């Protein structure tokens, strides 16, 4: 690479500079206020009535059955009875009678009833808890890890410097070797090692978006890979491969030779570690099973697909690629620019689909200097 091709401003962001900030893209249950649900409240005449009615309420109409177990039942002399939609236009008296409440309790509870809106979902984070409290007393169990994700304070300065360096590498490879195509890097976070590095290859095949190529390159480090030369004659004949296809098909260790040379010849990346952990043999896996009780599969069995790996993408992935990353069992995705058809924040948050059998964490890396920080 010619030294003169590098824009001078790029040189300013060298090692030790953490000008990117990774903001977690949280699912709606963490990022939005709880919707409200309308309930009937009963206003008691005195606090002394509470204990006598509570016994029957918790037996015949428990909060759990209404999905309201995150709320306390009582506020001063007010008691939550049930959701308005649950009683189908019956009177409260009729409804409570049908559930088997005693005459005395029905009388106490139905004396003064009004409608009121309470939070429908449990507070997941402290800010939601504080908002919920203003409406109705709620129960809350703080989740330290999620609080850190939400307020963006989970990354150390060292990790932020690493995020900045990965951006510098992605951006340099994209602009200097790949005509500004989207690029991606797979990192083994146990030791910040580059496992694979790829750029979009849609000129070879329309589905070869950058993350798809990246996943294939990771597979090659584990003696796999679907787009190896021997399987690709058909692709090559259909999609005329002026686009350095030989370089693409000959990648065996996850990193194309020209990227490797680029990294090794550039002082900015001299401290980047390169190369995936080699696939373990049957014997080493067996001995790990016998000798350790570690729960982390990456530690125990070594790499399998992208299990435990982090992926950094210059652009937010589309739905196809985001799904491929689910199938590959990626641990985290960091992306730097939003895409118009992005599937992690722009169009949808794929990682919030509960029915999927794997969920990665998603971070959008934003420039600190633009004051773009998440919160
Ligand atoms: Zn894609």
Q: Which of 92, 120, 148 is the last residue of a domain?
A: 120
203 Cα to the center of ligand 1, angstroms: 14
198 Cα to the center of ligand 1, angstroms: 13
Residue 138 lies in a domain: no
Residue 191 lies in a domain: yes
Domain residue limits at 109: 35-120
341 Cα to the center of ligand 1, angstroms: 9
Question: Do residues 167 and 59 share a domain?
Answer: no
Any bridge partners for residue 113, and if so which?
42
Question: Does the CA dihedral 246-251-255-261 come out positive or negative?
Answer: negative
Residue 122: Cβ within 10 Å count: 19
The enclosing domain of 359 has a CATH number of 3.40.140.10
Residue pLDDT, tens place only, 306-344: 888 999 999 999 999 999 999 999 999 999 999 999 999
184 Cα to the center of ligand 1, angstroms: 11
- Which of 36, 30, 27, 35 is CA-nearest to residue 125? 30
Residue 40's pLDDT is 95
Structural domain tally of the chain?
Answer: 2
Residue 203's pLDDT is 86
The enclosing domain of 66 has a CATH number of 3.30.70
Indicate if the pLDDT at residue 2 is higher than 50.
Answer: no
Question: Do residues 18 and 73 share a domain?
Answer: no
89 Cα to the center of ligand 1, angstroms: 50
Any bridge partners for residue 23, and if so which?
364
Read off the pLDDT of each residue in 140-163 and give the average, rounded to a whole number.
Answer: 89
Question: Do residues 44 and 175 share a domain?
Answer: no
Indicate if the pLDDT at residue 37 is higher than 60.
Answer: yes
Question: Do residues 237 and 197 share a domain?
Answer: yes
312 Cα to the center of ligand 1, angstroms: 14
């Amino acid at each position: 690479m010619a030294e003169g091709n590098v824009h001078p401003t790029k040189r300013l962001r060298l090692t030790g500079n953490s000008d990117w900030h990774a903001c977690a893209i949280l699912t709606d249950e963490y990022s939005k206020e709880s919707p409200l649900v309308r309930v009937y409240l009963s206003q008691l005449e005195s606090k002394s009535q509470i204990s006598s009615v509570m016994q029957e309420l918790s037996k015949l109409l428990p909060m759990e059955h209404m999905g309201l177990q995150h709320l306390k039942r009582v506020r001063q002399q007010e008691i939550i009875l049930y959701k308005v939609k649950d009683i189908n236009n019956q009177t409260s008296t009729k409804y409570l009678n049908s559930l088997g409440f005693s005459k005395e309790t029905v009388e106490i509870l139905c004396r003064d009833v009004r409608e009121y809106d309470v939070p429908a979902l449990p507070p997941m984070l402290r800010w939601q808890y504080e908002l919920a409290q203003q409406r109705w007393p709620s129960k809350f169990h703080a989740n330290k890890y999620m609080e850190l994700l939400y307020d963006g304070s989970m990354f150390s300065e060292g990790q932020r410097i690493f995020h900045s360096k990965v951006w510098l590498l992605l951006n340099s490879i994209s602009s200097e070797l790949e005509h500004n195509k989207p690029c991606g890097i797979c990192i083994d976070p146990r030791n910040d090692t580059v496992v694979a590095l790829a750029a979009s290859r849609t000129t070879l095949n329309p589905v070869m978006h950058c993350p798809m190529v990246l996943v294939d390159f990771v597979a090659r480090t584990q003696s796999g890979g679907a787009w190896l030369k021997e399987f690709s004659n058909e692709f090559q004949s259909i999609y005329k491969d002026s686009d350095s296809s030989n370089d693409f098909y000959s990648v065996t260790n996850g990193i194309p030779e020209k990227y490797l040379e680029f990294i090794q010849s550039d002082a900015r990346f001299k401290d980047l570690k390169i190369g995936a952990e080699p696939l373990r043999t049957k014997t080493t896996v067996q001995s790990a099973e016998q000798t350790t009780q570690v729960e982390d599969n990456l530690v125990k069995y070594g790499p399998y697909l992208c299990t435990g790996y982090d992926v950094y993408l210059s652009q937010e992935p589309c739905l196809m690629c985001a799904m491929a990353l689910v199938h590959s069992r990626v641990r985290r995705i960091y992306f730097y620019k939003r895409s118009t058809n992005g599937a992690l924040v722009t169009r949808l948050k794929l990682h919030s689909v509960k029915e999927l059998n794997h969920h990665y964490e998603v971070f959008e890396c934003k420039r600190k200097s633009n004051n773009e920080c998440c919160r």
